[in-house]
Structure formats: C-alpha cells, structure tokens
C-alpha cells in the first residue's frame, strides 16, 4: 500500500522576515507542487528517494536539515518505525530553490502521505501543525507562513501570534507573476538570526522600518482587493527597499529586481529568506509575464512563470 500527499510552493508577496516579529505578511500558494509517496519496507527506520529537480547543491546543502525535518515529522505524528520502516519518495513540479517554499511543500506533502498511508485522516489544520514542526529543522524559528500557504492554498493574510491569525484574501482573478532564481542556495536560519542580532543592536532604526512594513501590509491588502496592480507594484518596490535596509538582500537579488522592473514589471522584490534564492515580479497579463521572464532568462537566470491568488483544492 502506498500513501500519497501534495504540498504547494509559495511566494511571500509582502513582509518576509518582518512576519517573524508579528508584522502581518501576505503570502500566496503558487501552481507548482511537491508530491510525496510513502510505502512500507521490511527493514526498520526510513529511507528517502528525492527525485525533485533542484538548484545545483540545494539538496546536498539541505540534507542534514531534511533528515532532522523528517524525524521531527515522524515524532510529532507518533509513528514507530522500529519494526517495519518506510520509503519516502519525493517528486512533483516544484523546482527546489530558496524562496519558493520547497521545504514547506515537502513537509506538507510528507505529512499528508503519512496520514494517508496510516489511515489517520488528519485535517488540514493538523497537517499544517505537523508541517510547522518539520519546518523548524530548516528555519530554526519559522513564522509558520510557508507551511500555511502550502497546506491551504490561495492568497493568505498571515500574522504570527500565540494562535496565528490567518485570513484568506479573495481575488476575482489570479494575477501573473514571474519568479527569478539567483541560483544561490540561501541559509534561511542564518538570515533570520542576522536580522535578530541587528535589530537588538539598532532598536530605534528597526522599530521605524518595522512600522512602515506593517503599514505596507494593510495598503497591499486593499490594493489586492481593488485589483489595483499599479499600487501593488509600488508597494512591492518599497517592501524590497525595507528588506535591503534590514540587510537580507544581495547583489544578485538586487540585479534581478532591477532587470524585472526595467523590463516592465509593475513591482519586484526578493521573496523568502533572502541572501540568495528568488525574486518575485508582478506582471499582470501573459504578454508582460513573457517579456519579464525573457529579460531574466537572457541574462542566464532561471525563471518560473505562475500566478498568485488562485484557490485550488489541495488534495
């Protein structure tokens, strides 16, 4: 018998890093996903076949975190593999890179596959909480935003608190984006730790930046609901400036952001942990999406063309 599960990739549209401190963020699932399959084997413990396509060295650099993550998920689900073990196979259309929720998608997919395999019939809320546990291995102190988008899909307003606040933002029409991959694997845990350290050293400076980030989230929510993409693009550009000020951008990210804007993107910013990984560019309409993607690819970088705001059945 084989259990199967799915987890979607994500793009943080506003306020990565700020979200760790309770500032609202906006995140969307994207149309690319990871599939996990689980089958019983005759030996104890677990083994993994990771068939996902990835940025060079991504899987190698994340292997220890991945092992820790799977062990955390198994422990949280109270699964005993001392007699019969399992083989986990990962596949799907989500390209593994930093900044697109690859680790969260795998955590959600594995949790769903295990629930399916062992007939646990867990709810999405339970899957989300298990995936959050798995994410700790990759992020140290994750906000929970990635696994939430990966589990529930759609466009989500997210606030980290004792009980995370999560509201759907419904869009009449999903909007096209381009994600551009720097090809650099980022260490999110190190990026998060760096922000914490600098914030403790410069509390006044950071207080001001964080207040502006919060303001941007509310303006962006309105812009989404009004489908005001010009305004949304401006807010994305401003959000990128704040992320530069807290020192989580990089010369590669800034280069891709400028490329996208010069090619006509309404807005562009880093997405995810920063220091490498991906940018997200707002490109309403297929023609603009194509034009921006071509400009990035011409410089030798990989792109992902997808949409944000689509609500889809997650099973």
Helices (H) and strands (E) in the chain, counts: 9, 10
- Bridge partners (DSSP) of residue 48 are 88
Q: Is 270 helix (H, G, I), strand (E, B) or coil?
A: strand
DSSP letters, 34-51, are: EEEEEEEESSSSEEEEE-
Task: Report the half-sphere exposure of 108 (CA within 13 A, side-chain side).
Answer: 30
Judge residue 108's burial from the number of C-beta atoms within 10 Å of its C-beta, 0-12 exposed, 13-18 middle, 19 or more buried.
Answer: buried
Burial label, 231 (beta-carbon count in 10 A; 0-12, 13-18, 19+): middle
Going across the sheet that includes 175-181, the strands are 267-271, 278-282, 175-181, 302-308
> Dihedrals φ, ψ of 46, to 5°?
-130, 155
Four-CA torsion 99, 102, 107, 111, nearest 10 degrees? 130
- Would you call 146 a catalytic residue per the annotation? yes
Q: What is the CA radius of gyration of the chain?
A: 19
Among the options 42, 146, 222, 228, which is catalytic? Answer: 146
| Residues facing 46 on adjacent strands | 86
> 144: which residues sit within 8 A by CB, 6+ positions away?
128, 132, 135, 158, 160, 164
- C-alpha–C-alpha distance, residues 190 and 33, integer Å: 26
Spell out the residues 6+ positions from residue 123 whose beta carbon is closer than 8 angstroms to its own. none
Active centre residues (catalytic): 146
């Amino acid at each position: 018998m084989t259990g199967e599960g799915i987890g979607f990739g994500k793009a943080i549209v506003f306020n990565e890093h700020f979200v760790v401190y309770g500032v609202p963020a906006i995140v969307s699932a994207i149309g690319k996903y990871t599939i996990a399959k689980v089958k019983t084997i005759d030996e104890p413990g677990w083994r993994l076949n990771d068939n996902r396509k990835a940025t060079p060295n991504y899987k190698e650099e994340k292997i220890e975190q991945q092992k820790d993550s799977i062990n955390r998920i198994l422990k949280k689900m109270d699964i005993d593999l001392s007699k019969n073990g399992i083989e986990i196979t990962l596949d799907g259309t989500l390209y593994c890179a930093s900044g697109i929720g690859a680790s969260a998608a795998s955590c959600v997919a594995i949790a769903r596959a295990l629930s399916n395999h062992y007939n646990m019939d867990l709810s999405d809320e339970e899957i989300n909480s298990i995936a959050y546990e798995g994410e700790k291995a990759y992020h140290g102190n994750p906000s929970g935003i990635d696994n939430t988008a990966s589990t529930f899909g759609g466009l989500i307003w997210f606030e980290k608190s004792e009980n995370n606040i999560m509201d759907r933002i419904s869009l009449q029409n999903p909007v096209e984006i381009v994600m551009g991959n720097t090809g650099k694997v980022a260490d999110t845990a190190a990026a998060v730790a760096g922000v914490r350290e600098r914030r403790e050293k410069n509390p006044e400076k950071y207080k001001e930046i964080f207040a502006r980030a919060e303001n941007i989230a509310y303006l962006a929510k309105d812009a989404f609901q009004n489908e005001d993409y010009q305004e949304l693009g401006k807010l994305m550009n401003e959000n990128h400036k704040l992320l530069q000020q807290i020192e989580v951008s990089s010369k590669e990210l800034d280069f891709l952001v400028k490329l996208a804007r010069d090619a006509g993107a309404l807005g562009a910013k880093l997405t995810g942990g920063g220091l490498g990984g991906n940018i997200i560019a707002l490109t309403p309409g297929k023609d603009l999406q194509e034009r921006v993607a071509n400009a990035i690819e011409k410089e030798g970088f990989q792109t992902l063309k997808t949409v944000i705001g689509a609500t889809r059945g997650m099973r």
